[in-house]
Amino acid sequence: MRRSFFVFTLAIMALLLRSSAPAQDMASFEKRITVKVLKNGLTVILCERPEAPVFSFFTIVDAGAVQDPQGQSGMAHMFEHMAFKGTDRIGTTDYAKEKVALEKVDRAWAAYDHADRKQTGRDAKEVAVLKTAFDNAVEDANQYVIKNRFGEIVEREGGVGLNASTSMDSTQYFYSLPANRFEIWAYLESARFSNPVLREFYKERDVVHEERRLRTDSSPVGKMIEQFMAAAYTAHPYGRSGVGWPSELDHLTAPEAAQFYRKYYTPSNTVIALVGALKPEQVFPIVEKYFGPIPSGPKPEPLTTVEPDQFAERTVVMREKSQPFYIEGYHRPSDLDPDDAVYDVISDLVSQGRTSRLYRSMVRDQKIAAGAAGFSGLPGTKYPGLFSFFAIPLPGHTTQEMAQAIHEQIERLKNEDVSDEELQMVKTRTKANLIRQLANNQGLAIQLASSQQRYGDWRELFRSVDKIDKVTKADIRRVANKTFVAGNRTVAMIENDPAPPKAATADKQKEKH
């Protein structure tokens, strides 16, 4: 008797020790993290991680493709590209003259575009003349430009991982530098968000259009996902192309981009996280010096549009030369919803690794799919998004089989309690995965900035683990029954067709400049 009691106690202790590990870390982070909100509303988080003399940062602006104005899809992403073009001091030999030249470019574009898009009475000769005038204006403005000067400075100072990305929900900028370049960073990052100059705008639009061709038009799955979103959303901008519909993308203008910038790139709409060998007493005076003078602006009002309830299933079928692919999505609430953690648990349960339900049922046992998963995040999480399931059929297996197998697993979620072991496994994994994400500067900066921006507190990163810990079997069944119903479903698939019917989908972009 005595012996078995001892073993039992050991087991309990082991469990307790395991679950206490992340909490210790939260305490240790508490000591290393300083948060400051400047008078103009900018939030800066610093996390000290002194191991090596380097640091990383992550700047999030609370404006993504969702904020693209009507008729200007792609604008948030376009501005992200412009944030690499320099300022009135970076990348120009003579800003006073360049400014005049750039205004002329904008006027020349407007005149040309107006003449070119006349629905009646378009005068080809006039268009050609205005096109030449536009090209000349661009040429004239280019003489003042030092190309890619912003990136050049970052790279020469030893910067690595220089990049940015635009999602439906937000836009983010990031790179890493040696720690002794901190002030140079403050100079560059404050300048690009306080005095950006939208030079080379119209040429960069072509670059972005090539990005669209790469990721969407010439990628079967990219094309399918764009259609999937368009089908899943009736009113909310989540249904729009994030990189931009081709016709709108080709007509974005620099004055419109400037307007977008003024509205959304305000300090109160921005969070910056810094992680590395930096000290608060060194960082914050410099931050104050460079970012403090940026004028404050109102935090933009939240979006009014709420996606109306879906009441009918929608299906998109693409017949392509490429191999079949299946995805289906169900509307779910945003990541502020109390059930958010339940969706996280469901996602882990059905998708994570070789013990997941979709892997075991579809890949291992039925041998019909090469891979399958269920996840949140498409198109975003800030507004009600989708919980999506996808599967990649093995050769010879059909999208119908994918749908059927996924629906079997959904029915299990709805009708059977998950086992204690499964639930515990998910919870343990959530904790361990959080710890693994804390192991490098850039990863940590991403996590801290994201939590701070979304929830107003970086600690939410650690609290999310507690929320997952509280999820019950009943929660899983309740949420599955509420969400995974046919009327709330949108399906998209690629069906293989070696000779698909030709549609008039040629790339219609004209060579305009």
Given 1, 7, 16, 17, the residue binding other proteins (CB under 8 A): 17
Q: Which of residues 22-61 bind other proteins (CB under 8 A)?
A: 25, 51-54
From the list 39-47, 255-263, 470-478, 501-509, the region that binds other proteins by CB under 8 A is 501-509
Nearest CB to other proteins, comparing residues 404 and 415 = 404
DSSP 8-class letter at 64: -
In the complex, least distance from residue 120 CB atom to other proteins, rounded to whole angstroms: 28
Nearest CB to other proteins, comparing residues 297 and 407 = 407
What letter represents residue 210's amino acid? E
Given 113, 135, 140, 217, the residue binding other proteins (CB under 8 A): 217
What does the alpha-carbon distance between residue 121 and residue 352 come to, in Å, rounded to a whole number?
60
Nearest CB to other proteins, comparing residues 28 and 296 = 28
In the complex, least distance from residue 66 CB atom to other proteins, rounded to whole angstroms: 13
Q: Which of residues 246-305 bind other proteins (CB under 8 A)?
A: none
Closest CA to 325 of 286, 291, 370: 370
- If DSSP codes are grouped into helix, strand and coil, which group holds residue 494? strand
Nearest CB to other proteins, comparing residues 44 and 445 = 445
Cis peptide before 255 (omega within 30 of 0): no
In the complex, least distance from residue 271 CB atom to other proteins, rounded to whole angstroms: 11
Do the beta carbons of residue 363 and residue 355 sit within 8 Å? no
Nearest CB to other proteins, comparing residues 467 and 482 = 467
From the list 117-125, 247-255, 298-306, 500-508, the region that binds other proteins by CB under 8 A is 500-508
- CA distances from residue 44 to 35, 291, 426, 503 in whole angstroms, order as listed: 6, 10, 33, 51
| DSSP bridge pairs for 45 | 35, 273
Nearest CB to other proteins, comparing residues 40 and 455 = 455
Nearest CB to other proteins, comparing residues 126 and 495 = 495
What does the alpha-carbon distance between residue 345 and residue 357 come to, in Å, rounded to a whole number?
12
Nearest CB to other proteins, comparing residues 400 and 415 = 400
Binding mask 93-132 for other proteins (x = CB under 8 A): x-x-------------------------------------
In the complex, least distance from residue 21 CB atom to other proteins, rounded to whole angstroms: 5
What does the alpha-carbon distance between residue 486 and residue 411 come to, in Å, rounded to a whole number?
12
Residues touching other proteins, count (CB under 8 A): 140
Q: What angle do CA 420, 3, 18 make, to 5 degrees?
A: 40
What does the alpha-carbon distance between residue 98 and residue 489 come to, in Å, rounded to a whole number?
52
In the complex, least distance from residue 426 CB atom to other proteins, rounded to whole angstroms: 9
Nearest CB to other proteins, comparing residues 163 and 415 = 163
In the complex, least distance from residue 91 CB atom to other proteins, rounded to whole angstroms: 6
Do the beta carbons of residue 165 and residue 215 sit within 8 Å? no
From the list 232-240, 252-260, 459-467, 484-492, the region that binds other proteins by CB under 8 A is 459-467
Q: Which of residues 305-364 bind other proteins (CB under 8 A)?
A: 320-323, 335, 340-341, 344, 347, 351, 353-355, 363-364
What letter represents residue 101's amino acid? A
Does 81 sit near other proteins (CB under 8 A)?
A: yes
Q: Quick one: angle between helices 340-351 and 399-415, nearest 10?
A: 130
Contacts of 399 (CB under 8 A, 6+ apart): 324, 325, 326, 393, 493, 494, 495
Nearest CB to other proteins, comparing residues 123 and 155 = 155
Query: Tokens 């990219």 identify what position?
Result: 222
Does 92 sit near other proteins (CB under 8 A)?
A: yes
Given 314, 407, 414, 429, the residue binding other proteins (CB under 8 A): 429
Do the beta carbons of residue 512 and residue 131 sit within 8 Å? yes
Q: Which of residues 147-166 bind other proteins (CB under 8 A)?
A: 147-160, 162-166
In the complex, least distance from residue 132 CB atom to other proteins, rounded to whole angstroms: 18
Q: Which of residues 57-76 bind other proteins (CB under 8 A)?
A: none
Q: Which of residues 434-453 bind other proteins (CB under 8 A)?
A: 434-440, 446-447, 449-451
How is residue 33 written in tokens?
Answer: 């993290």
| DSSP bridge pairs for 177 | 55
Binding mask 180-199 for other proteins (x = CB under 8 A): xx-xx--x------------
What does the alpha-carbon distance between residue 335 and residue 450 come to, in Å, rounded to a whole number?
12
How is residue 100 written in tokens?
Answer: 């005049």
Query: Tokens 């990136």 identify what position?
Result: 151
Given 176, 190, 269, 483, the residue binding other proteins (CB under 8 A): 176
Q: Which of residues 376-415 bind other proteins (CB under 8 A)?
A: 376-378, 380-382, 390, 392, 394-398
What does the alpha-carbon distance between residue 267 and residue 265 come to, in Å, rounded to a whole number?
7
Q: Mind giving me the DSSP string for 83-130?
A: TTS-BSSSSBS-HHHHHHHHHHHHHHHHHHHHHHT-SSS--HHHHHHH
Does 472 sit near other proteins (CB under 8 A)?
A: no
